[in-house]
Amino acid sequence: MIPFTELRARVLVAKLGLDGHDRGVKVVARLLRDAGFEVIYTGLRQTPEMVVAAARDEDVDVVGLSMLSGAHLALAPPVVAGLRAEGLDIPVVVGGIVPDRDLPALEAAGVAEVIGPGATADEVVAAVERALATRT
């Protein structure tokens, strides 16, 4: 575990689409909080538009999307595009179940990092840090 030092960044974690399985998003939110991030959780059933608005209003540094239902290709790219359309330099991290064949499409759409099943707490934190480092 990474020891608590100072608030590293503000993270918005969101559950996008119809899926209600929130164990993963809550565990990740808590472990990011324990690792020193300030975490804001949107709750369930967010649309891409709602996530973009929350990221803007909460002035976050990075957005994490929890996606288990297979709808990542339909729902994650519009979040990236929406943030860019607002002129916001906020990287997007996708966590959940994403088949390898979909990785190039998410990368092409501008998703900064994808965290798969079985990632440890340190790997989650490292992915968020890498995403933050892409900010210009």
Give yes or no for a contact between 39 and 25, defined as CB atoms under 8 angstroms apart: no
Query: How far is residue 61's CA from residue 58's CA, in Å, rounded to a whole number?
Result: 9
Q: Of 2, 9, 33, 81, which one interacts with other proteins (CB under 8 A)?
A: 33
Give yes or no for a contact between 23 and 66, defined as CB atoms under 8 angstroms apart: no
Give yes or no for a contact between 105 and 73, defined as CB atoms under 8 angstroms apart: yes
Q: Of 87, 101, 133, 136, which one interacts with other proteins (CB under 8 A)?
A: 101
Q: Classify strands 10-15 and 62-67 as parallel, antiparallel or unpaired.
A: parallel
Q: Of 100, 104, 108, 136, which one interacts with other proteins (CB under 8 A)?
A: 100
By CB under 8 A, tell whether 7 contacts other proteins.
no
Q: Which residues are within 8 A (CB) of 58 and not within 5 positions of it... i.e. 6 or more apart?
A: 10, 12, 40
Q: Of 4, 20, 84, 130, which one interacts with other proteins (CB under 8 A)?
A: 20
CB of 117 to other proteins, least distance (A): 4
By CB under 8 A, tell whether 116 contacts other proteins.
yes
The contact set with other proteins (CB under 8 A) reads 1, 17-23, 26-27, 29-31, 33, 39, 41-44, 47, 69-75, 97, 99-101, 116-118, 120-121
